[in-house]
């Protein structure tokens, strides 16, 4: 794992976005798996500022996870976040954007649909991740066993305290997410960690102890991870 301590979120965003932009230049039809939340926002903004330097007309984007049981037009969904920061600014057409539906009539069929989409489109080229306060990545929550593929997740207390969920009038009742194997098969993983509230979990993560109680710890087994950490939280 390549750990990069950066002086602030601005530096993190500039550096990480340049890695993504260069990868798109090298492979225009790249499959990008996009996380949501506070940590990747500035990186996405910086990526958009560079879009004159790469061709996004073939770029494919798959949503990492979604709050379940809420309407897709809820402003706090992952859907609305990605539409704002990536899909519309990069002019990603519907046939090149693959997304969990937040309020599917049949969530079991929904996760099966997304797993099929992932299988058909091939291995994820770049997977963008944040780090949850309890060590989760996507909605792969701490547990005795972790799910390998797309699944319906029971949301932890920490996940329900996330700013996106806490600001919803109608609260999510479950999560929809790619699984650990889906993520770990990515060719490149970029994890962005910022925020003073991440101090305790980043200390545990950096211990390199691999445990299902800290799902992000499994990233230590991956051969190509770039982990950007705001040095102010260490």
What pLDDT does residue 122 have? 85
Q: Is 29 exposed, middle or buried (0-12, 13-18, 19+ CB in 10 A)?
A: middle
pTM of the model: 0.95
Q: Could you tell me the domains of the chain?
A: 2-233 (3.40.50.1360)
The 10s digit of each residue's pLDDT in 16-52 is: 999 999 999 999 999 999 999 889 999 999 999 999 9
In the chain, which ranges are E strands?
2-6, 31-34, 60-63, 65-68, 97-98, 126-129, 151-153, 174-177, 188-193, 225-230
Mean pLDDT of 73-100: 96
Residues with catalytic roles: 65, 134, 136, 141
Q: What is the pLDDT of residues 48-71, one digit of tens each?
A: 999 999 999 999 999 999 999 999
Report the length, in residues, of the chain: 234
């Amino acid at each position: 794992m390549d750990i990069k301590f950066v002086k602030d979120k601005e530096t993190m965003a500039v550096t990480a976005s340049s890695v993504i932009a260069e990868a798109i230049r090298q492979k225009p039809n790249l499959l990008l798996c996009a996380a949501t939340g506070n940590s990747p926002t500035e990186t996405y903004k910086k990526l958009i500022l560079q879009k004159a330097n790469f061709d996004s007309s073939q770029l494919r984007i798959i949503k990492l996870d979604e709050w379940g049981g809420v309407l897709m037009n809820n402003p706090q969904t992952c859907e609305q976040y990605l539409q704002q920061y990536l899909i519309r600014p990069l002019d990603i057409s519907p046939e090149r954007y693959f997304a969990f539906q937040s309020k599917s009539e049949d969530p079991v069929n929904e996760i099966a649909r997304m797993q099929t989409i992932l299988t058909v489109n091939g291995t994820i080229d770049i997977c963008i991740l944040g780090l949850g306060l309890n060590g989760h990545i996507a909605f792969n929550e701490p547990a005795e066993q972790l799910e390998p593929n797309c699944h319906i997740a029971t949301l932890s207390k920490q996940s329900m305290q996330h700013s996106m969920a806490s600001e919803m009038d109608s609260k999510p009742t479950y999560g929809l997410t790619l699984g650990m194997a889906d993520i770990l098969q990515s060719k490149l993983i970029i994890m962005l960690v910022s925020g003073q509230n991440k101090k305790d979990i980043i200390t545990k993560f950096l211990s390199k102890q691999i445990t299902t109680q800290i799902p992000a710890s499994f990233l230590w087994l991956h051969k190509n991870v770039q982990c950007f950490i705001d040095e102010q939280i260490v």
